A and B are shown apart, each in its own frame.
Chain A
Amino acid sequence: MEEENYEQNNQVALKIGLIGDSQIGKTSLMVKYVEGSFDEDYIQTLGVNFMDKKIQIRNTIITFSIWDLGGQKEFINMLPLVSNDAVAILFMFDLTRKSTLNSIKEWYRQVRGFNKTAIPFLVGTKYDHFIDLSFQDQIEITQQAKKFGNAMKAPIIFCSTSHSINVQKIFKIILSKAFDLKLNLDEIINVGEPILIFK
């Protein structure tokens, strides 16, 4: 290479916010993505957590700074910390609890008050439990999620943190959206499958 050996790496930093009701798996997703581990036990997030994940690709270092807001309503006053300056916001819900999907509307409204430019994502969690629901429920939830995703103009992703399904893909899609880069990944659109709609 013609580059001198002292040349520093190029750095990119992205702030990602995780938003959604309590106990849907926000902290779990963050820890899984950053550390690769999953914990069955629930520890309520009091306030805000954040973690950094660094990825080195050749001479580029990407740093995801992931901010996770506790889902209890009392922490809403910390929402600006999570949403300000974020490049992407993951609006998350529990695929087995419809109420958490319905809350997304209000979360979205609140976040937009602080950050109008962040790329929104609609992320359904606990896909591993979702497949145990009745097919009718699965249809209903999937259709509702698609409706929300379209309204938000957001990619829709179903994931399972415990079974490592679509976890990495969430962040790859974030990169492709943030830098407007083409992603050669197939979408998954059928009910019962872990939905992956991003085009």
Chain B
Amino acid sequence: MKLNSTKPLPYDNSNNQIYNNPFITTSTRNDDEINNPPNKRSKFCTSTTTTSLASLFNKQNRHKLRRRINSISTNLSYYKFPKQDEFNFNSQPNFASSSTRSSTPSSNSNSDLESLPDLTDDDELTPENTPIKKLPTINFQYLELPTLKPPKFQLHKPRQREISSKISIFEVPEILHKIISFVDEQNSNLPTESTPIRRKPLNYNHAMLIHGDAEIAQRATEEIQEQLQPVYSNPLFNCLLVNKLFFKITSDIISKKFYFSNEENLVKFINYQGPKTTSFQPKIFILHKLFQTRQYLFDKCIHYISFKQLEWFELYMCPKLFPSIEIFKQAGSNLKKLIITGSKTIDDNFLISISLHCKNIEVLDLRACEYISDFSIYQISKHLKNLKIINFGRKNKGHLISDASIIKLINCCKGLNTIGLAGCNVTDKTVFEIAIKLPDIERLSLNNCPRLTDHCLSIFTNPNTIHCFLKLKVLEFRYNSQLDNLQHLIEFKKRQEYKNKIYLLIELCEDLMAKYRAQEQELDNIISMKIFNDIMVYINDDNDGDSNYIDLLNR
């Protein structure tokens, strides 16, 4: 088999890496320098199986549809009832366990059915009720019938068409292309940051506050240590080795995605490039955590690449690399996704010139790019009307980003659904503006925004903003210890659940979480008191509909 080793490869496979080898671990490095984006998922509540007071809504709605008397055989499977010890007034179900909770209420009843002990055996008194049926005697006579001949199974040879050359699907380029594309979709593991379902708790205490259950808290805390750096691999390299056709098609597919998470491999790639090699035209270009990689390597590497089809450009924590404007000129309006995090090179001018060339950017993630300021953000809002996701989160130089630019951006990009402003200098005004201008907002990260006050929390429950945040799923307020009145969040979370059927995920740091739980407890106590009062009134109302027995006795 011939293998043209001068063909461009995304990275060198000469070390024959074993995919997903648990023993191969790339050096882990703490991502903490940058703030993760709030790209998190929250669950929709499709059905409520919890036992707390408020969650009964669904159940009751279902009942309206049901017939007068529910016969067990048909309807039981919908049903789940509270355990008595769960009979508290905690109107806030414990969502920490929401992932483990089955969404099918039937599971409980089913297991009941399965675990039924058979009591009928004890019941010697009523044999007439449960007559023991006589077991039918089963004769397997037919087996002995001598007349029956064994069936003649003739193995027909599959008739082959008289075609001299048998064509395998692996020889049809179109089909092979589909197959390898599928392999690519299935297995290619782009070196991108995975989005957590929720953030890891900071410590055991924090986990305890979040989950309220020692076992779950312990597990959540342990997961912090267990996190393994995933091995980014590309199974397509095996496909390259099959035959010429495979090689051709595979390299075509590979060349659509250009990604490296290892400088050594990048160097090998560059060294393999010869004058004869066809150039890459990737749709995806990702350099991932090349902390030390120098500019001259980057310049060499992009020399071989055409960016005309580029849709996704990512420099994830490659602080020293400066992507030349030329790349973005080439990509033009194809570019949808621009992720440059932790860069020490890009600045306002850079961002503004990109916005002039690439007007279709939807995802703009510039976390920990500390030279980006209000100035460029204000400017780009004129050009990037399609923005859906922005993230300007940072640890340092937060004062450079304020209401001035963010409010302008919010007003220009009505399609925004994800906003990350961790560590920025924004105030309550920004939150208000998001509330009233962005109907699609789903994720909002306001970690460590020291200028926020309690007022911004009240926006979430203000009757005037009742039609805002209808889609909000994730709300982050970590490291905002200045906030006190978290009742608004508690109330908002409940509203999201009842009205919009969204389990809102609220991320808080340890001290805020402690406050949150305390206030939640207070609120629950108030609700319990109300319920008790209401029931007291009811049970002590003399006019209850019963008749007076004296009338009956005097008949």
- What residues make up the interface of A, taking CB atoms closer than 8 Å to B? 4-6, 8, 10-13, 15, 31, 35-36, 47-52, 54-55, 57-63, 65, 72-74, 76-81, 84-87, 110, 115, 117-118, 127-128, 131, 160, 163-169, 172-173, 175-176, 178-179, 181-185, 188, 192-194
Contact = CB atoms under 8 A, between A and B. Distances in A.
A11 B53 contact: yes
A35 B535 contact: no
Nearest to A79: B119
Contacts of B535: 12, 57, 60, 62, 175, 179, 181
A127 B319 CA distance: 87
A77 B243 CA distance: 66
Contacts of A87: 84, 87
Nearest to B80: A85
Interface string B536-547: 111110001111
The 4 closest A-B pairs by CB, nearest first: A48-B72, A60-B534, A11-B53, A168-B544
A88 to B, nearest CB: 10
A85 B83 contact: yes
B129 interface: yes
B539 A183 contact: yes
Contact of B82 (A4, A13, A169): A13
Contact of A49 (B60, B70, B125, B546): B70
A163 B537 CA distance: 25
Contacts of A77: 116-120
Contacts of A127: 549, 552
A66 to B, nearest CB: 10
Interface stretch (B15-23, B284-292, B409-417, B525-533): B525-533
B495 interface: yes
Given A10-B53, A11-B57, A58-B534, A52 B126 contact: no
A35 B69 CA distance: 10
B540 A184 contact: yes
Instruction: Name the interface size band of chain B.
Output: 35 or more
Contact of A47 (B71, B109, B118, B499): B71
A176 B539 CA distance: 7
Nearest to B72: A48
Contacts of A11: 53-57, 91
How would you classify the secondary structure of chain A's contact residues: helix, strand, loop or mixed? Answer: mixed
Interface string B58-74: 01100100001111110
A8 B60 contact: no
B495 A73 contact: no
B85 interface: yes
B530 A85 contact: no
A49 B72 contact: yes
How would you classify the secondary structure of chain B's contact residues: helix, strand, loop or mixed? Answer: helix
A183 B119 contact: no
B123 interface: yes
Interface of B: 51, 53-57, 59-60, 63, 68-73, 75-76, 79, 81-85, 87, 89, 91, 109, 112-113, 115-120, 123, 125-126, 129-130, 461, 463, 466, 494-495, 498-499, 527, 530-532, 534-540, 544-547, 549, 552-553
Contact of A50 (B70, B119, B129): B70
Contacts of A12: 53, 89, 531, 535
B534 A118 contact: no
B175 to A, nearest CB: 55
A169 B542 CA distance: 10
5 contacts: A6-B499, A15-B81, A50-B79, A57-B534, A60-B535
A132 B546 CA distance: 21
Contacts of B83: 85
A67 to B, nearest CB: 9
A6 B377 CA distance: 38
A47 B74 CA distance: 11
B509 to A, nearest CB: 28
B498 A8 contact: yes
Nearest to B555: A131
A48 B113 CA distance: 13
A76 B123 contact: yes
Nearest to B123: A73
Contacts of A79: 119
A195 B421 CA distance: 69
B53 A168 contact: no
A84 B115 CA distance: 12
B534 A74 contact: no
A57 to B, nearest CB: 4
Contacts of A50: 69-70, 72, 75, 79
Nearest to B537: A57
Of B53, B63, B123, which is in contact with the most chain A CB atoms at under 10 Å from its CB?
Answer: B53
Given A74-B129, A74-B130, A193-B549, A55 B71 contact: no
Nearest to B463: A4
Given A6-B495, A15-B82, A168-B545, A55 B538 contact: yes
A47 B73 contact: yes
A8 B119 contact: no
Contact of A74 (B120, B539, B540): B120
B431 to A, nearest CB: 19
Nearest to B87: A87
A45 B72 CA distance: 10
A62 B549 CA distance: 27
A182 B540 CA distance: 9
